[in-house]
Amino acid sequence: MIKVFKSFLMFTLIVGVMSAAAFAEVKFKDVPADHWAAKSVYDLVRLGITTGYPDGTFRGSKNITRYETAVFLAKLADKLPDMDMSNIQTELNALKNEIAKVRKSEGMPITGEYEMISKIGNLLSTGGNVNSRGPAMAYRLKTEMNYDFDEATSLKVKFDTLDSGFGGTTRDLATEMINVLGTVKINPMDTVLSDFGVENPLNLEFAMGNGDLQHVDATGFIPSETGIVYKGLYSGVGIGTNLLGFDVMGGYKQAAKTNTGVSATSLLTGSIAYNFKGVPVIETLKLTAKGDYYAKHPTSGGVRDLRGMVGLFAPVSETIGVKTTLGIGSSNSTGWLVGGELDVANALSSGLDVVLRGTKVGSSFIYDNLSAEEFDIAGLDFFDRPLENGTVNLGGKISQKMGEKLEFEGKGDLRLSSDYGYGADKAKSRATGQVGFAYEVAPSTKVNTFYRVEQDPTISETTDLAAMGLVYKF
């Protein structure tokens, strides 16, 4: 622990020297002088790292976006004086080792979340083919255990009850509720890889899990929740590194397996990403390309499928990002996917976050003979339901901080037919909208409430859902 203290002391001295050279005098309305973090906040101001919001507040409890984090780190890097960084790197490595030892001595820490929610189906809806109405309770427990064997080796065990017990759904403990991920970082200088020009660490991952699972409610009590996807790990192995500036990843996964664990469908996957800098107007452009090869075992039919996805991401400004996606499942355009997304963080410095998304999925993008393995390969809507073949999907989500403890969220999805139609004669058309609030009643404890309406014109049905629940994080 003495080494940990010395390392922290060194960085404190560095920040102190840098702060003495700055002179900005800014006082935030919501950061009084006696606040426990006041000194650190004003040190950042004096360094020119942050100036707060235009209304004179710092908003210390507000979630920070990836864009704001990028700006923060970029400004910090610009302010670092010319110094011998090798000494700092040595201290950093020592600090990492000490922290790993401390965490190991404390055992395997457990974090998690428990949610208890009461749902009332068809509260106001009276028309259409409404199945039933009334209350229902749902419970969900998620835990995560992390253990660092050393700086290079770690183990993560996740437990999730998913939708077990709700709507007659049952889940197997060993094969569906538990996901295990082991990570090993390999230094190429310790292997022959360094002879081939590999300089950056290789990250090996070993996973055990049943992959993404889907909620199916046979009772039809809450139609808007039928099909919700619970993301999970697929059993397999993967490796990734940065090679010549490219982020490269590859691996093998069991896209489907039998109850005995035997692979029924194998998946070979690989991706490559590169950040282009100095691009006119937008400065930075990230290009990502991903390829997947599915192969069913001969005893399961021997079906094969090869597909690719290409994505572009560009930060238009410090708070605005644009993403486009092209998916190719076949040479015919019916096997294509085209999508775009606009992210706006803290719009007009009001604390409003906005996400808008649109995706068109070709009628044969998801291969029929591999529909069980590829059911969510086109992506999910804002209600975590998979996008389907032959649809046009338009959606959006907004969130607004209304004080330190209250937050508003609204979201909606409109699913059109492949010819952009909506109505009883337009296949798969559907509309879903929801508004809700979250209030922090105590540290790590929130009360969530929302109201949702869904219309399915193909079966002349309109349903709604009112819900209130308690979420506790530990």
CATH topology for 316-474? Answer: Porin (2.40.160)
The model's pTM is 0.76
Domain boundaries, the chain: 2-92, 316-474
pLDDT tens for the 474 residues of the chain, in order = 444 444 444 444 444 444 444 444 567 878 887 777 777 788 788 777 787 877 778 877 777 777 777 777 777 766 665 545 556 666 666 666 666 665 555 566 789 999 999 998 888 876 544 555 678 888 899 999 998 888 889 999 999 999 886 766 788 888 889 999 999 998 877 776 666 667 788 899 999 998 999 987 766 778 898 899 999 999 999 999 998 889 999 999 998 776 666 778 999 999 999 999 988 888 899 999 999 999 998 877 789 999 999 999 999 888 999 999 999 998 888 999 999 999 999 888 888 999 999 999 999 999 999 998 999 999 999 999 999 999 999 999 999 999 889 999 999 999 999 999 999 999 999 999 999 999 999 999 999 999 999 999 998 888 899 999 999 999
Which residue's entry shows tokens 């597909």?
307
